[in-house]
Chain A
Amino acid sequence: MDKLINQFEFGLFFWQILIFVGLIFLLKKFAWKPILDAVNTREQGIKDALLSAENARKEMENLQADNQRILNEARAERDAMLKEAREMREKMIADSKNEAQAQGQKMIEQAKAAIESEKNAAMAELKSQVSTLSLSIAEKLLKEELSNKESQTKLVEKMLGDVKLN
C-alpha cells in the first residue's frame, strides 16, 4: 500500500483529469450526441417502416377479402340470373304451349261449329232438294196413280188405312 501511494504522481493525475474531462466534453458535443441521435433516428425509422409495412399488409388483406366478397357476390348474382332465365324460359315454353293448346282447341271448336253449320245447311239444302224431288216424284206418281178411278180409291183406302194405323 505504501508503495502504491508512493507511485501516485500528481502531474500525471492532473494531465489525466484534464485530458479525460476535456475528451468527455469534446466527444459529447462532436461525437456521442450526433451518433446517438443518428442511431435513434435510424431505429425510429426502422420501427416506422416496419409498422407501415404491417399496415400495408393488413390493408392488402382487407382488399383481398373485399375482392373475394365482391367476386362471391357477383357469382351468386350470376347464378341467380341464370336460374331466373331458366325459369323464365320454362315458363315461357309452358305458357306458349298452353296458349297454343287453347288456340288449337278454339280452332277445333270453330272448325267443329263451322262443320256443324255447314252440315246443317247441307242437310237443309238436301232436305229441300229431297222434298222438291219427292214432291215431283209424288206428283208424277200421283198423276200416274190417279189416272184411273180404281187406283185412286185404292190409294185413298190405303192412306186411310195408314191413318188408322197411326
Chain B
Amino acid sequence: MMPDVQEFLQIDAPALLAAVLACAACALVGNFLVLRRQGMMGDAVSHAILPGIVGGFLVAGTRETLPMMLGALAAAALAGLLIEAVRRLGRLESGAAMGVVFTVMFAAGVVMIEQASAGGVDLDADCVLYGQLETILWLAPKGWASLADPAVWAALPREVLTLAAVFALCVALVGLFYKELKITTFDPALASTLGIPAGLFHYGVVLLVAATAIAAFEAVGSILVIAMLIAPPAAARLLTDRLAAQILLSVALGVLAALAGYGAAAFGPMLLGASHSLNAAGMIAVASGLILALAVLFGPRHGLLGRRRAVGRLRDTSGFIAPEAQKP
C-alpha cells in the first residue's frame, strides 16, 4: 500500500526536507565539535536553551518563531558564559561545569513551562525534546506537475526555509574559514603563532553550533540535534583521515540517516501492516546510531575488523607484532 502523490508531497516531503536539512547542517558543524573534543557542548547547549525558548514564548505571547529563537540564542550565549565562568573561576573540569550549568538551566525551563501551563498555555517539554517533524505541512503542491510552479516553492513551510538558510550559512562560514578552522582545530598553538585568533574561533564554533541547534530543534527536537552533531561526524572520522573528506562524508551520512530514519518511521509500520507511524526524530537518531555502529565495526582502517586484518597482515609478514600495532 503506497500513499498517493499529493499526500506524499504535502506531508512527507516537507518533513523529509526539514529532516535532511537539519541533519546536514548539524553534521557539518558537528565535525568541529568531535575533533575539538567538545562533543558534550551540543548536549549542553540544546538542554540549556529551554528557558530561553519558554521566556521568548512568554514575552511574545505567541508561538511565533522569532522571539523563541532570540530567547534561545540569548540562553545559549548565557550558558556558554556560565560554563566558562564556572570552569575558570571555580576551577572545575569542563564536564562538571557543563553538567552543573545545563541541568540547572533545563530545570528552570521545566519549572517555567509548568508555571506557564497554569495559565492555559500549550507548550510542553515534549515538543522541545522530540520536535514536531510530523506537523510540518506543505499545502501548496497538488501533484508532481505542480512542482514546476514557482509559487508552490515559495509556499514552502517556514521551518524548511529557516533550516535551508541555516544550512547555507554553515556551508558559507565553513567554506570561508576552512583553513582557519582546520588549523585552530588541530593545532591551536600553531594557529596563535600564525596570528589566527584561536580563542575567537573556539567561540565562533560554539555559537555556530548553538545557532544550528536552535534552528533545528523546532523541527526535529533536541535529542535528534545531539545525535546529528555527533554520530555522523564520529562515523566519518572512523572512515577517513582527511578533514575535507570527513566533512563531506559526515554530511552525506547525516542525509542518509535522515532519509532512512524517516522512511522507516513513516512507511515501515505500513509495510508491516500497522496503521500508525513511529516517532520520526527518534528513528533518525537510531539510524545514525546504526551508521556509527557499522563504521565502528567495518571501517577500513580504524574499524575493529579492519584493524584486526591489518594486525594479521603484520603478523604474517614480519612474524611479530610491533608494540604500537597492539594498541588501539
Do the two chains bind?
A: no
Q: Show the binding face of B for A, using Cβ within 8 Å.
A: none
